[in-house]
A and B are shown apart, each in its own frame.
Chain A
């Protein structure tokens, strides 16, 4: 029993670590992307938006399969891994982070893009007429006014990474402490008929998800109030 709960804690810790890394990278990557999608007049922007949104409709196994090809020894991921002496990026924590970022990108980019678009041109123009450089406009006007979008995006990205299963199984497998996240652990428990453990973890996930959705709704409500 003690061994089992150690395994559970290990996977919980690993899952939170993965979700934290992925969320930070998603914010760093998603913010400029969302800004460009919200502000650009380029014809290419909807094409890029569609690519970003693809993981919403693609089966996780398909995404996982291509990631496996790209991250594997024969792909660019493998070439990159050879720089530090590894053979492949697949079946590693790094590979899992890359996969999670791609898989959760639309959940982060979309709310931030919507929030940027909701600001409109006017506050940005006002700031420019008050001598603010584009850089200062972005950080002192655009980001604060879009903060509900950032919060929503971060929560969704985090929660979505915690809950992913298909992509993880395809590119991460089942290495305890390295790639064996919560959802995989639950799957294992069910496979081996350890229902008590499966119940424990699943109930925990239900509570977690409830909190996430509730938080999102409260944020949205606040955002609506501010907009009116």
Chain B
């Protein structure tokens, strides 16, 4: 039994041709990412069985939900679905909504009611009617409702896109906490790269009804053949572990594969998992180690590949460490600098990182 999510969905949807196939591990968060109208939501609906495409295959960790001969109806698939708008049942209270899909026998609950209420901060409005809640609160209830149906996979269709900036920032920590405390794989549809950089472990890149690439997030972010590297916002997400925290300077030391970063931060727990985001525009290259500089993070790296990006600019893919085997980093340099420094593929360089930000903020307040 393979612990992967295997999907192949093809069909004509009006004017739109969908032909999307991918296989990703059945753990962590997989983001389906692409511009509006590229078929992300159709794929998610297809996985749920809300959309029945005749040519389809879908299996979750060895459990086949659809193939050439069988199509399991939606209500027999162990999934949780969070829609773009929260779609709570107006005739039920928050508690009634949460319990609608929960098994009747309490011993069947792997995900327990009290835990979900605590995790999502729902305790204060359990007995209220959905229409009295704010948009963010409603979406949290919708997530809790999906979780309490004891799903084997969580499908989320842009759960934050209907919310304003502030409400988004209120919900994101809950999603991160969900990610850390539950072992359920998540398929997460989004067109917002900042959400993906914060939440996703794997990425399925879609365009015009097709999958362009799929794989670990950082690998796709630094793949020169994909359009992500040439975007103005090009960045890599690095999984890091907290090694030390200096309370006097308010700096944390974080280890990534092939290097070590010092970043300003609120106090962090040693050995906690964190995620760093480094913009390509914040990384410059030097041939020798700079001696006196305000730039804190200077890392050995090897130039793995280079790509022209727009007029007179290059995007350089670096591998951290002397051998270049560590985590990938992107650097945007001018064509002029590239020429003057005589940079070449395979060269060892020093990457000066002007800014590296922690993308997972402190734990959210429990309400």
Contact = CB atoms under 8 A, between A and B. Distances in A.
Interface of A: 122-123, 125-134, 137, 140-141, 144-145, 147, 226
Contacts of A141: 89
Contacts of B91: 144-145, 147
9 contacts: A122-B83, A125-B50, A126-B81, A129-B48, A129-B75, A130-B75, A130-B101, A130-B149, A144-B91
Given A125-B50, A127-B100, A132 B89 contact: no
A130 B75 CA distance: 7
A81 to B, nearest CB: 44
A221 B212 CA distance: 51
Given A129-B50, A134-B75, 20 more contacts: A122-B83, A123-B89, A125-B83, A126-B81, A126-B89, A128-B73, A128-B75, A129-B101, A129-B149, A130-B100, A130-B101, A131-B76, A131-B149, A132-B75, A132-B101, A140-B100, A145-B89, A145-B90, A147-B91, A226-B131
B90 A129 contact: no
Interface residues of B, number: 23
Residue of A127, A129, A132, A145 with most partner-chain B CB within 10 A: A129
Given A125-B50, A126-B81, A126-B83, A131 B89 contact: no
B90 A128 contact: no
B2 interface: no
Nearest to B78: A131
B89 A129 contact: no
Contacts of B75: 128-134, 137
Given A126-B83, A128-B50, A132-B101, A226 B74 contact: no
A227 B136 CA distance: 20
Given A122-B83, A141-B89, A144-B91, A129 B146 contact: yes
Residue of A125, A130, A137, A144 with most partner-chain B CB within 10 A: A130
Contacts of A133: 75
A127 to B, nearest CB: 7
A123 B92 CA distance: 12
A139 to B, nearest CB: 12
Nearest to A227: B90
Contacts of A147: 91
A141 B87 CA distance: 12
Contact of A129 (B79, B85, B131): B79
A131 B90 contact: no
B100 A129 contact: no
A169 B100 CA distance: 51
B95 to A, nearest CB: 14
A137 B101 CA distance: 11
B153 to A, nearest CB: 11
A84 B146 CA distance: 56
B145 A130 contact: yes
A123 B87 contact: yes
Contacts of A125: 50, 74, 81, 83
Contacts of A128: 50, 73-75
Nearest to A132: B75
Contacts of B87: 122-123, 126
Nearest to A143: B91
A128 B89 CA distance: 13
A22 to B, nearest CB: 28
B80 interface: yes
Contacts of B83: 122, 125-126
Nearest to A129: B81
Contacts of B78: 131
Interface in B82-107: 83, 85, 87, 89-91, 100-101
A131 B150 CA distance: 10
A132 to B, nearest CB: 6
Contacts of B85: 122
B60 to A, nearest CB: 14
Contacts of B48: 129
Contacts of A134: 75
A144 B48 CA distance: 25
A14 B91 CA distance: 37
Interface in B107-152: 131, 145-146, 149
B44 to A, nearest CB: 11
A132 B77 CA distance: 10
A129 B146 CA distance: 8
A122 to B, nearest CB: 5
A171 B176 CA distance: 71
B50 A131 contact: no
A127 B73 CA distance: 13
A129 to B, nearest CB: 4
Nearest to B131: A226
A140 B74 CA distance: 17
Contacts of B100: 127, 130, 132, 140
A40 B353 CA distance: 60
Residue of B100, B145, B146 with most partner-chain A CB within 10 A: B100
Nearest to B86: A126
Nearest to A121: B50
A147 B50 CA distance: 26
A147 B90 CA distance: 12
B90 A226 contact: yes
